Amino acid sequence: MKGHLIRTLVVAAALGVSQPALSQVQTARVTGGAVEGVVKDGVASFKGIPFAAPPLGELRWKAPQPVKPWTGVKKADSFAPGCMQDTSMAAKMGMPTDISEDCLYLNVWTAAKRRDEKRPVMVWIYGGAFAGGMTSAPLYDGTRFARRGVVLVSVAYRVGPFGFLALADLSKESGRGSGTYGLQDQIAGLRWVRDNIAQFGGDPSRVTIFGESAGGISVSMLAASPAAKGLFHRAISESGGSFAPPKIANEAGQNVLSLRMAEVMGQSLLNRFGVEDLESARKVTADQILKAAGGMGLFWPVADGDVLPGDQYELYQAGKFNDTPILIGTNSDEGAMFVRPGVTPAAFERQIRTGYGPAADAILAAYPHATDAEASKSAKDIFRESAFAWHTWAWATLEAQKGKGKAFVYYFDHRTPLSPDGASHGAEIAYVFGNLGGFGGAPTEADVALSDLMSACWINFATKGDPNGPGLPSWPVFTPGEQRVMVFDGTPGARALPNQDKLKALDGYYAWRREEARKRR
């Protein structure tokens, strides 16, 4: 007891004297103990703050558990390892490659001078096909957001088989399904933000979640998850959304697995280890699991009936979602990263007729494919729509019809010498964060101007639920009857939503898929 009292007095002293001396929020008492960040040029960064217990041993494939308390003041001066994943892509991009199962940590950037400033909070969720990604990527540095008045938080979550493995035994063990551990990590991170962000000058009643690709899809899922209710107040999704029915076979344009299908797939992974029960599986090394799991994108969040109750489109139709303002959009050439060139007209038609059922004729009519050039472009475009743009359009439409929150939609079409055909997947992130350069080379004046505009819109939205502000081009609210979006290109401004004919053709396909799913129930 005496030792505990002494430690408490030491921590209290550290927290009490350092802030006034530095005129900066540099220390904080958070769930688990005290942390000390690093101040540079007026911004304090806190890296590697634990928000849950390490998911090791018996905690593998379980919901995140309460963080383990520590004594003294923890130095929060370096990123924690990324969650277990194949690091080959990260290495190619010059990103950190340090990984571990012990990875449930978050980071905070703040320029607050006092704890009572109530600055808007933005919580970043990284992408990576639910198979990779990490908070330590330089692209996600929150310094510039902090300088512009935001408290920026980035949250790690388990990916691949560690985050999204489903098994009948795991479902039985939890009593609530399985295969959503990564999403539960995100929710645990949001609970940490609710309970602790005021220590960093943040306002827990103004929390915006935002992410790109799998991170944007995660934002969409959190918007439909009862477990995330009340933990955020605005939502931004960059190239995200998940409004297709759960997958039960190999349906085109559907990625979220039904629980039954995910459990079968999970069991096949266990069979590769040669283990017969869950206890043995939790003793297999993390490297063995990673090797057996194989390539990208095999494990996605599962429609477990709990964290993800079911088809998001139907949940929205029934008014069962977390209703907040949304800012969502896609890029003009998303498919370039995923579709190999050289698609022929015959190959494109075969792809559509094989995967899209009775909607194939309408889709083929909407996607020109008479020549090799047209077929290659249409192959990229239908990937853009089926993976990202239709989900964004459906989300905005449903929010406008069923919700009270306003929907703002964008289309990022900034072209550079490296991307003359349009903006590729993820190209907007550097502009949003203000972290220009990198593989794109030195930024031009146009790059900086566009970044300043987009950052201002994102911060305005996080501040008041509306991206509009003095000196900015007017961004209209999206409505089904007035489908106008903000186009970010050489001359940013509001215009009609591009590709409406393609989106409507795909809408007929997904309506058919939903009807087929209802018949099987």
Spatial CA neighbour of 84 closest among 56, 107, 109, 112: 56
Closest-CA residue to 458 (of 422, 410, 499, 505): 410
- Residue 10: its pLDDT value, please? 35
Strands 105-110 and 43-50: antiparallel
In angstroms, the Cα distances linking 248 to 4, 90, 394 are: 55, 31, 21
The residue among 27, 34, 36 whose CA lies nearest residue 114 is 27
Count the Cβ atoms, other than its own, within 10 Å of residue 57. Answer: 9
Helix (H) or strand (E) run with residue 82 in it = strand 82-83
The answer to whether residues 52 and 123 touch, using CB atoms and an 8 Å cutoff, is: no
What pLDDT was estimated at residue 263?
A: 95
Residue indicated by tokens 């743009």? 389
> How many other C-beta atoms are found inside a 10 Å radius of the C-beta of residue 357?
15
Is 425 a residue of the active site? yes
Q: Which helix (H) or strand (E) holds 125?
A: strand 119-125
- DSSP lists the bridge partners of residue 258 as 303
3-class SS shares of the chain: helix, strand, coil, % to 5? 40, 15, 40
Neighbour count for residue 223 (Cβ, 10 Å): 28
Catalytic residue among 385, 425, 428, 455: 425
Note down pLDDT in tens along the chain; length 521 residues: 334 333 333 334 334 333 334 478 999 999 999 999 999 999 999 999 999 999 999 999 999 999 999 999 999 999 999 999 988 877 776 777 899 999 999 999 999 999 999 999 999 999 999 999 999 999 999 999 999 999 999 999 999 999 999 999 999 999 999 999 999 999 999 999 999 999 999 999 999 999 999 999 999 999 999 999 999 999 999 999 999 999 888 888 899 999 999 999 999 888 888 887 899 999 999 999 998 887 655 899 999 999 999 999 999 999 999 999 999 999 999 999 899 989 999 999 999 999 999 999 999 999 999 999 999 999 999 999 999 999 999 999 999 999 999 999 999 999 988 889 999 999 999 999 999 987 667 899 999 999 999 999 999 999 999 999 999 999 999 999 989 999 999 999 999 999 999 999 999 999 999 999 988 87
Of 466, 465, 468, 440, nearest in space to 453 by CA: 468
At residue 45, what is the residue type?
S
Q: What is the dihedral of CA 109, 155, 201, 470, to 10 degrees?
A: 70
How confident is the model at residue 20, as a pLDDT? 38
CA geometry: angle 487, 488, 491, nearest 5 deg = 90
CA distances from 490 to 249, 310, 476 (A): 43, 40, 19
Q: Which long-range contacts (CB under 8 A, 24 or more apart) does 351-355 make?
A: 351/379, 352/382, 354/252, 355/251, 355/252, 355/253
**213 flagged as catalytic:** yes
Closest CA to 241 of 428, 391, 429, 43: 391
Alpha carbon distance 31, 341 (integer Å) = 51
pLDDT at 21: 40
The residue type at 93: M
Location of structure tokens 């194939």: 360
Whole-Å CA distances, 233 to 57, 164, 229, 318: 35, 26, 9, 20
Token pair recorded at residue 380: 């990229």
Q: Are 331 and 422 in contact (CB under 8 A)?
A: yes
Catalytic hit among 36, 101, 212, 334 = 334
CA separation for the pair 140, 43 (Å, rounded): 15
Sign of CA dihedral 451, 452, 453, 457: positive
Catalytic residue among 171, 178, 213, 237: 213
State phi, psi for 412 to the nearest 5 degrees: -95, 115
- DSSP class of residue 452 equals H
Pairing state between β 326-331 and 202-212: unpaired
* Rounded Cα distance, 515 and 521, in Å: 10
385, two tokens: 């729509």
Q: What is the pTM of this model?
A: 0.93
Measure the CA–CA gap between 104 and 195, rounded to whole angstroms: 17
**136 is annotated as an active-site residue:** no
What CA–CA distance (Å, rounded) separates 451 from 435? Answer: 9
